[in-house]
Amino acid sequence: MLGLWKSKKRKAEEEKNDLKAIVTEDLLGASEWKESKVGYLSGLSSVGRIASNFAGSISESFGRTGLVFKIMTREDSLPSLPEVDEDQYDGRLRFRAAMHLHRVKEKDMARAISNTWRSFYFYGSLTLAAVAWLIVDMGLKDKMALTTLVLHIAPIPILGAYTFKAAFTNWTFRKQTLVNPNIFLKSLDWLPKK
């Protein structure tokens, strides 16, 4: 804690040393002078340093871009459930088969229910905030540009979709059944529970 408090004299010395380093290295190029007198006088040292920094940045960029492309195009190796007839479909059996296939345990189910409950209220509150922001902004302004209106409306369906997904996933885990969202909507059990 005592090291955090510096005297005015020490601060002044550090600022002086920083200023000296800036002048000697950045403006005068003392390290370039020490490396090569000809390179310093001709300016080739500076050009070489700039070129190597630029080439290094480009190679790092290509490396990152290649990694992103590799991740995006890699083959999905997750196993999938076999297809079944719609007449013989049982959502509970399908759910159990999916749990077994993906090695999901009961403790993972409890965690998923809790996470989807949190996600629902998080995205739901963001959706309500976006709707409120749109209503308040439309009430306060006489005229609104089309781009502003679009920027106000755009997050609402996206956040609403995330809210619906969290509610449906929570219901799926609670009921332990794999069915289509229409059955979820008909159940009227839309609010997630822990």
| pLDDT, greater one: 180 or 14 | 180
What number is the average pLDDT over the span 100-118? 87
What is the per-residue pLDDT for 29?
Answer: 66
Give the Cα separation of 88 and 111 in Å (integer): 31
pLDDT of 132 higher than 70: yes
What number is the average pLDDT over the span 155-178? 93
Give the tens place of pLDDT for each residue, 76-91.
Answer: 666 666 677 676 777 7
| pLDDT, greater one: 180 or 27 | 180
Highest mean pLDDT pick, 24-28, 46-50, 62-66, 170-174: 170-174
What is the per-residue pLDDT for 171?
Answer: 93
Answer for the pair 176, 92: CB distance below 8 angstroms, yes or no.
yes
- Nearest partner of 193 among 114, 96, 126, 76, judged by Cα: 114
What number is the average pLDDT over the span 32-54? 71
pLDDT of 53 higher than 60: yes
What is the per-residue pLDDT for 76?
Answer: 67
What is the per-residue pLDDT for 158?
Answer: 95
Question: How does the average pLDDT of the chain come out, rounded?
Answer: 82
pLDDT of 141 higher than 70: yes
pLDDT of 163 higher than 90: yes
What is the per-residue pLDDT for 1?
Answer: 45
- Nearest partner of 36 among 26, 52, 48, 24, judged by Cα: 48
pLDDT of 96 higher than 80: yes
